[in-house]
Structure 1
Amino acid sequence: MSDGLSLADHITLELRADIIGGRLLPGKALTEADLVLAYNASRNTIREALHRLGQEGLTRYVRHKGVMVRQPGADQVRDLFQVRRTLELQAIAASRPLREQQSDSMREAIEATQLARDREDWRAVGTHSLRFHQRIVGLLGSPLFDEFFTTVVAQLRLVFSAAPDESRFQAPWLARDRMIYQHLIENDRPAALEALSTYLDDSEQQLLEVFNPGSRH
């Protein structure tokens, strides 16, 4: 293809985007025959794309059922938040004053979150909030970290989908994203770090409660 990506690459990216967008939910079967028709691709190409998604922790093979979108668990939540703390906190700790483009992309993600909240599209609220946090990781200036964190975001999207009341889970985070953004605009890294650290602690605990009600960690 003209962009240097194979058809399997494109299918992998599109299916990952569908997971991040909340259009493919945990437990959804990814049937080879359906994907062959949808993408006008060979079975081998579809299998390659599904294999890649499995390597990214987004799908799993279930005997007698085939490939399905992964159902996350508490151990995955802990692992994901360990990664988030490592990348996001380091990105802020090492950051310089925001450039205009960085500030604009963060603001756009927050504005998109607000619009989704106004129309009570809670899946989109979660997706756009995650995009804001992708912009934080982007402060590291590493395409490799950006690509890696996109996979982390897709896994987080599956975790969010496990919340029985996603509206209640997603409601508090917009104001806290705005606060982190404001600290970054003001180049107050200690305040941004404190706000983000507390944010991640609280978010992880709420998600662990989804998988292990009554648990504390």
Structure 2
Amino acid sequence: MTLSLSLADQIALELRADIIGGRLLPGMALVEVELVKSYNASRNTIREALHRLGQEGLTRYVRNKGVMVRRLDRDEVRDLFVVRRTLELQAITQSGPLTDAQSERMQNAIEATTLAREREDWRAVATHSLLFHQQIVGLMCSPLFDEFFAQVIAQLRLVFCAAPDEQRFQSPWLERDREIYELLIHGNKPAAGEAMSLYLDDSERLSLALFTHP
């Protein structure tokens, strides 16, 4: 049975999607009055939606400024990669042969990343690559993990926004996503897991390098 979402939940999901899509960036203000108009919702509903985003680690309240999209720190980035290793590597280990639907969703994400790179839309490249990794976690067929990881990739998106050169930061990952996909397609889970582990090591190193303080 699927539970219907409240309006506040729906608004929170849309705002989270805007973060994953790179349309809401760290430091941007989420102005209550503007959101009331945009969503034709009450102030209480908007406040409830913003509160949910705060619980997901995506926004924070700043005195005299209101609710703003968060900037993450180094310790939070490290923690995100602890979560990624736990979920993505476990998903590969536990997965059976890819179903047609699973394969198609991964392939669609890779194709979308490819098209975005051809357009040199590096913001979209980051978004679609994250969605590919969401499909990796989806191999566990757990709605709870799927929902949790959607919050994780939204936080990762906020980290990636800190890259001063998006093209340089995002360029390496498409071929490596494709390699992992090909290994999974051919049922080579040990090699896919090793490729993912190296991928996450490199991604964490580059993400932490975005922060100049120790």
- Range into which the TM-score falls when normalised by the shorter chain: over 0.9
Q: Is contact 1:29–1:67 with CA below 8 Å preserved after alignment?
A: yes
| 1:126 pairs with 2:126 | yes
Segments of 4+ moved more than 3 angstroms: none
- Whole-angstrom distance in 2 between the partners of 1:114 and 1:150: 22
Alignment of 1:24-43 (within 5 A): 24-43=24-43
Partner SS state of residue 139, structure 1:
helix
**Structure 1 regions of 5+ residues with no counterpart?**
none
Structure 1 residue 64: Cα displacement = 1.1
Alignment of 1:1-217 (within 5 A): 4-212=4-212
- Whole-angstrom distance in 2 between the partners of 1:7 and 1:185: 39
Q: Is contact 1:74–1:212 with CA below 8 Å preserved after alignment?
A: no
Identity across the alignment (%):
72
Q: Is contact 1:180–1:196 with CA below 8 Å preserved after alignment?
A: yes
Q: What's the RMSD between the two structures over aligned residues?
A: 1.2
Q: Which one-letter code corresponds to 2:142 in the other structure?
A: S
- Whole-angstrom distance in 2 between the partners of 1:163 and 1:207: 8
Q: TM-score if structure 2 supplies the norm length?
A: 0.97
- Whole-angstrom distance in 2 between the partners of 1:15 and 1:60: 14
- Whole-angstrom distance in 2 between the partners of 1:30 and 1:61: 10
Structure 1 residue 9: Cα displacement = 1.0
Q: TM-score if structure 1 supplies the norm length?
A: 0.96
Q: Which one-letter code corresponds to 2:145 in the other structure?
A: F
Q: 1:44-99 CA deviation, whole Å, 9 max, x = no partner? A: 11000000000000000111111000011111110100000000000001111111
